[in-house]
Amino acid sequence: MDILSFIFNPFVSAYNLVHDTLTSLLQSLGVPPDWIAIIVFLVMGLIVVTVILIVAPVLMMYITLMERKVVARMQDRIGPNRVGKFGLLQPIADMIKFLTKEDIVPQGVDGVSHFLAPIVAVIPVVMSFAVIYFGVGMGAVDLNLGLLFLMAMGSMATIAVFMAGFGSHNKFALIGGMRAAAQIISYEIPQIFAVLIPVMLAGSISLNRVIEQQSGLFGLGWFILYIPVGPIAFFVYLLAATAEINRVPFDLPEAESELVAGYHTEYSGMKFGLFYLAEFLNMFIVSAIGASIFFGGWQGPFVQQIPALGILYFFGKTFLLILIQLWFRGSIPRLRVDQLMNFGWKRLVPVMLGTIMFTAVLLWFYRWFLESLKGLGG
């Protein structure tokens, strides 16, 4: 029975096992109790952080491979298939290439900004992993304000873009950086408003609480099924999030026909690799948030009996959303700047403002209805 419960919930059980062993070990060594709490906290925290920091780059590498494969199939090509079976080792080859490429720093760059920009681009993305829930009870930190924290981390991307654009000493980078910043701030508003709808439905900003609220109908009570507000919010979220991370069809800052490579024109070697890493990890984070708040995250049938299923559900839904973004890339041409800005401010923002008020009124009527039912019964 014990082994069965371990198999059904491997990661949380392993965590608890290590936690209890460490605590009892320290107790037998005669460490004072307040130090035990601190040491256990630090060691367990470091273990969780290390696991996540190993999983994140692997995820990123295979999302790049997935993108190349899927887009190749859409364009009637095969995609990478030389390195390893089906090109499965291609990301590793890419990584070695990034490591051995020369890092060219052009003359006249602003040293501080040019060096720090890729680092600043990666930091908020990695921190976002802290509050994502990968399975039942499988989140590093359960913040009361988890979703707002994720939005705040997303908004920090603008600073990195500015630094790269300013620091590169290049007109293309400068224009690309300004455009990217304007685009990110324009689409951040609809994104935050779209996230607000599940928050209102669940009555909490904690990501875990929002997921738990979707447990109805055998784990299928997802917020996207709350017609009509759920689908509207999801649609707006998907578009705004795609624009927020500068993916096709909203990849104007990197429009190669006008701006060479946008704000990372002057980056090469591992520094470019870090921008690449940040972009794909952002894609994962954005899809993971979407899967968690609209599709129930780890919520699904039989997840209460076999918690390990939750991991499968979560990654299945997340990769489905990533696939939708790749589908965008394979089929939709790039927008013009004026179309992009108009779409954000004149379509998405008014729609979301209306949806928020509509949701509030609906919730109020629902509560009023329940109370009058109670009154009839009593």
**Shortest Å, Cβ 231 to other proteins:** 19
Binder of other proteins out of 9, 40, 68, 188 (CB under 8 A): 188
The whole-angstrom separation of Cα 160 and Cα 283 is 17
CB 87 within 8 A of CB 112: no
Enumerate residues 271-310 that contact other proteins by CB under 8 A.
271, 273-274, 277
CB 51 within 8 A of CB 11: no
Residue 101 near other proteins by CB under 8 A: yes
Residue 35 near other proteins by CB under 8 A: yes
**Shortest Å, Cβ 29 to other proteins:** 16
CB 173 within 8 A of CB 263: yes
Distances (CA, A) of 160 to 119, 120, 167, 233, 290: 8, 5, 10, 28, 24
| Choices 235-243, 269-277, 305-313, 317-325 (CB under 8 A): range interacting with other proteins | 269-277
Residue 28 near other proteins by CB under 8 A: no
Nearer to other proteins, 197 or 311 (CB): 197
CB 223 within 8 A of CB 237: no
**Shortest Å, Cβ 331 to other proteins:** 25
Residue 228 near other proteins by CB under 8 A: no
Binder of other proteins out of 5, 24, 144, 331 (CB under 8 A): 144
Binder of other proteins out of 3, 4, 85, 107 (CB under 8 A): 107
* 76 conformational bin, left if phi > 0, alpha if psi -120 to 50, beta if neither: left
Binder of other proteins out of 71, 148, 306, 312 (CB under 8 A): 148
Enumerate residues 56-95 that contact other proteins by CB under 8 A.
none
Residue 23 near other proteins by CB under 8 A: no
Residue 337 near other proteins by CB under 8 A: yes
**Residue whose C-alpha is closest to residue 122's, from 275, 287, 288, 267:** 275
Which positions ≥6 away from 313 have C-beta within 8 Å?
Answer: 296, 297, 298, 299, 300, 303
**Shortest Å, Cβ 279 to other proteins:** 13
The whole-angstrom separation of Cα 98 and Cα 90 is 12
Residue 373 near other proteins by CB under 8 A: no
| Angle of the 90-100 helix axis to the 33-74 helix axis, nearest 10 | 110
Binder of other proteins out of 28, 30, 108, 227 (CB under 8 A): 108
Nearer to other proteins, 169 or 334 (CB): 169
